[in-house]
Structure 1
Amino acid sequence: MNTNLFKEFNKHLCSYFFIIFIPIMALNICYQNYFLDTYKTEVIQQNNNNLNKFQVYFDHKIDLIHKVTSNLTRTPYFSDAYIRHNISSFYDILAELNAIKALDPTFVDIYYYNKNVPNTLYSCNGTYNINTYTQINPNFLNGYANFENKINSISKPIFQAPDDNILASLTPCIEYILPVHNQSAFFVFRINLSFFSDALHNIYDTENASYTYILSDTYELYKNAPPDFSLSLDNLPGTEPSNIQTTYKDHYYISSTSSPTSNLTYMSIVNEALLLAKVRTLSNKFILLNLLILLLGFIIIFVLTNKYYEPIRRLLASLHDFNFNLPKNLDALDQVAVGLDLLDRDNRRLNYEKSLLKLLSGTYKTISSFNMNPAHKDILLKYETYKIITLCPAPSYTLSNEDKQLLRQAKLAPLEGVDLYQVDYTESNMSIWIAFYQTGMDTLLKEALLNLDGALKATLSVPLRLCISHQYTELSGMPYALLECSKLSQHTDCTLHKTLLFYEEVNLQKPVEFSYPEAELSGLQDAITSRNIEKIELFVNILVDYINSLDECNPLLLPLAYTISHVFKKAAKILNITSVTNFDNLSKTNTPFSKALFTEYILTLSKEVIGIIQLHTEPCASSSIQVIIDYINQHYCEYDLSVSFLADHFNLSISNLSHQFKATTSVNVSSYINALRIEKAKQLLCTTSMTITDIATSIGYTQPSSFIRRFKQFTNMTPGEFRAQAK
């Protein structure tokens, strides 16, 4: 156990438990009643907020019904003249009513009554003769001689309770009656009780000890209280629309509010006894939980200190290997934190440079498409006009390490209206800047570059060429601007003392032809999409020849690599191919970027894509399975490599892959992978001093026991016995 780390863990542990946790637990016990009252108040307040949401929700629903009926009355089918003079009005009204019914699943039926047809009640299912139909509900008539007298007595929108439905034979529902003031007509919406209960379930916490009532004048339209619950709601103070008033009565907190647009009153009733009992139970459980956490905290910290010290030590060693200058006076954990901050800063810098390289490759056509990509969150382009600026030594000169450091630290004087982005390309003897600026800033930018040129000329040990491209306004022109600067930097006729070179000012003595392979890249994408192997090989060969024609230090190489990677990924996505190697993974390696690496990358990509296309077009050919075998030979040490992974990776079914693989190799996929791993393990056992656990991990086994069992299955001896015998 590292003493330093042990002290660190215990110091933080004691600080937490004895300075923060224990005092809070003591205060919790001493002021339990205060916490109970506070919690009770918060629950009631939350309940009131839910009640307010409930009221707003249903007022919106009712307002929707009003708007629907208003729109219906504007249609010609519901006009008095149309109903009187058109026999087919029956079908038109039914069609409109059914269309409105489909708007909400809680609408069971919609009735329409017009005095121009005094004996007919329209519904979504047909019509009823109100004089002869025997199921008119007496409760609805409520003492009126007939249906017409009852309906004429309604002068404003009202709700009818389920017991007072118009038709007694139907399933009880809430009915909402709306008179049409500019006509002698009425709309009646039959609404399922789920109209209230579903919304109540979505808005309210079902664990709260509360009940909800919805009243329409003296009717109880809805309540979710149990049948044996009894509480008189008489003598309660009146409510104002949209204002919640809470009253305490018989150990219940009754909150109520009324609707400003309808005759509905919403009530929420909270049982004080149940609420306080629940709160006390939760409080006692919390105290016990605090004690349990106190005990578990010491155990967990102790276990973690022992278990995770080794990864922390390795992390510190890795940080030192990366040459991060960690302060020696800090404790181990603080050093880790500082190191991770430095790694995060380094990753942000790499992401910044990668975004600029993709920008230089011409991948993006507009500023908005670049800014909308979340991968480039550290860069925000504001101006459309830009120039490319390169700083490099004159031909036949090479930058020293001191010169490279000076170029990295070179800064342009801040200019309002000019945004400057720098790409660290000094390892290739060049530094690249992108200057985005407002129109009319050319002169100021040129003066600033002259000042920078003079400062660098006085400090660098070699003659410098500061090359500036044409002015561009489209991002797709980035590769051309790079080519311009590249030609300027390599132009041998320019005198060495002329260090500031503008493309439009320097006579290159021959026409400049730009050959950025846009047509070839587009053709390559079309060839992959159409699965044309012959054309894929053709365009790949053209691109390789183009790359070989460029100089090793040409700044176009790296952006072009991102462009080609993007073309392969975009085309492969259309074909549902998931195994295309990403250039981002290649760029993370320690191998310096070069033309040879670039061409190898392109050939690897094309080989993968062609192999997968062959695999799907020639499923029985052994050459197609060779693509999978090659992939296994390269990745067999990865722990997640399996039949299902390969099937998903190559977009095949597990059964199809297994059948083709065994038919070609005479062994199944799992046996082939395990055989490769065991052979690698034999080599490591004989040539290294690695532990059994480290060997198991390095060849793809997550558990040493699984490795030992598999090794014995293949060799009839354990790894330890094999190593001893080999010696």
Structure 2
Amino acid sequence: MKKNNLLFKYIFSYVSVLLIPLLILGIIIKAYFIKTYSQFVLEQKTEQAQKIKTSLDMQVDQLHKFALQISNKRVFSRYNIENNPSAFNDIMKEFRYFIHINTSLQEVIFHLNDSDVYYMSTGTSNNQYLFTDIMKYDEITSENSQEFFTSITSPVWIKSQTVYNPTISCENTMTYVVPSICNNSVVIYQLASCFFDQLFPEKEEELGTSIFLLDQEGQLIYEHNSQEPLLHNTERMRTVEDGHIELIDIEKKKYYIYKTTLHSQSAILVQITPELFIRKQVNKFSQVYYIGLMVIVLLSSIAIYCHIKMNYDPIKKLGYTARMGKIKVPEDLNILESIEFAIENLSKGFVTISEIDKKMMQESRLFHLLRGQYKTVDEFNYDCKNLDLFISGSKFRVAIFFTEFNSDLPVPEPQIINQLCDMLIEYEVFMVEYLEQFSYILILSGDGGQDEALLQRLHFIQMHYKEMTGSNLTIGIGNEYDEVSKIFQSYNEAQYAVEYKLVRGAHSIIFYKDICEKQQPSRYTYPKIELESLYHAIINGNTVKIEFIIDRLINLIRKEYHSLFLATCLCYDVINTALRAIHDITLSISFTEKYSRVKFTSIDEFVEVVEMICGDIIQCLEKNKKSNSSLDINEVVAYMKENHTDPNFCVSSLADHFNMSISNFSHQFKSQMNQNASAYINNLRIQSAKILITSTELSINDIALKVGYHQPSSFIRMFKQSTGKTPGEYRIENNREVPDTSDFI
């Protein structure tokens, strides 16, 4: 056999169709996502810088507001300071309160420019002592301090440095000087550098982002996480446009720089992010993206493998089957060529099909024909080449033979039907066996217009089938059509016609068109009187009347009820009437075993079911009559004497106790005792009441309850009807005189 490359072709086709476009699309999407993600990271950094700027603006605004308050308060006026010896105490209190509410402040210093005194929250100091022994600035000394503060006309920042003596504090301090024109003074704010450190995100130094605070001249005020090359290029940072991000080179390294100016215009905030940091962030995203892409490729590969296996295995098996068959396939052909070679030889008729295979293929084609899957006769004939199936007629219809299965036949039933179908010489007959149980579907093809001849042939077939099998054969015939695609419609019509045997009876020939003609809208007479008569006949056990009414109902169904639905409903109404009668006369008939498999599909079977039910009813009624005639009256009387004082004791409970109907028990009791059972119970209760009235001191109400009356008024009424006196009058006349009831039966 030629080396098989089909599997590799499958793999290559799936890979080229699915995986390669997926990878190309993944690369395009990656480039887009990397660009978008880079912008996202830079925007995050910009937002961080804006938050820092906002915090600084808020702090500087507070300092300016406090400086403005100082210039307007009387405590800080030159007159108050010069003439009030305790003025420095008021100034200290103001400063301490402001430092208390601003935790970032280390100290606040107030200085009149033409004075040598500096006021602080901790006290006062002169110029020499303050800038020599307490604090030291690179920019301010005791010699130039007066000149330095006098020259300041706008707020200025002094760079972060260690100001205080190490014995006081080693923390870096940022100084902000705000001049006041009103009283020719300055306010010096000293802020802890930790305040600025708190503004930056945690572990920002690990990410490589640097923050610079510059004055308007580009001098460094404060730096966070700075690198040495950046400290020497602060002037370059000033050239960046405010509010924009620019990529610049600093000593052969690229940095993204974002610059923004504080609201007070006193300082510039610069954020510097190395390009390397952005690359690291993008690389992290790329790793996640590639992992996801690999997972997608892996899942796609698994799906491709499953599809290849699912599609390739049947072809492989088909190729193996082609080589193992009766066709001699050349060895140099691959799988597809082998299958093609086998199919071509089959279509040319070079292979003999076995009878079993041919029969199965014939049934398959006929099933397709019944389902309406062939649009034309030529299409069917071409598909059935070499299968001995050929249609030449121009008209088509379906007939269904519904049989009664008989396993004792000497010849199998399908062979009998085949022999009978040979009698339909005017038609081409194609038979499908057992499409439904005990049914044979015949597809008839001919010239059409032969309904009378067809009816005669079918009567002849019915007669021969009856002689050969002793069973009934019901035939349903659908309408005739001139299109092969409408055979399915004719089949449905034939099915309905067969079901119509419920009205026509078994062993009938039923044309669907005849049913349609008789089912014209008409007024149906519902046999209400007949059903009521049937009910009373069953209750009374009148077998002659039962048979008469059943015959009338069957004739009504056959003559007037042409609708299958209405006929079926009436049949079940007859059965329900019989069951209602059984329930009302409380007959003990069990339907569980005897009737569990009973069904009817024709009017004859329905008659058998109704006769079976009525026969059981009559048999049960006769049995009950025999058992009821042997009623022991002495046993009944004894039971009544024992239980008559029970308020719930009545004729119904008596009938239930002796397994009889109320009407039958009442009839039997009256025939033997010459009085009703209820009157007898009442007499027993009156006699018991007489005894209690004359022999006890019980009240009339208690006596009524003891003898079986729920209401004393009912007892008094019944007692007076029986004796002509009320219980009270009877007690007065017959006090202590006990009546003799031994002879009362």
Q: TM-score range by the shorter chain?
A: 0.3 to 0.5
By relative contact order (CA 8 Å, sep 6+), the higher-ranking structure is: 1
Q: TM-score, normalised by structure 2?
A: 0.34
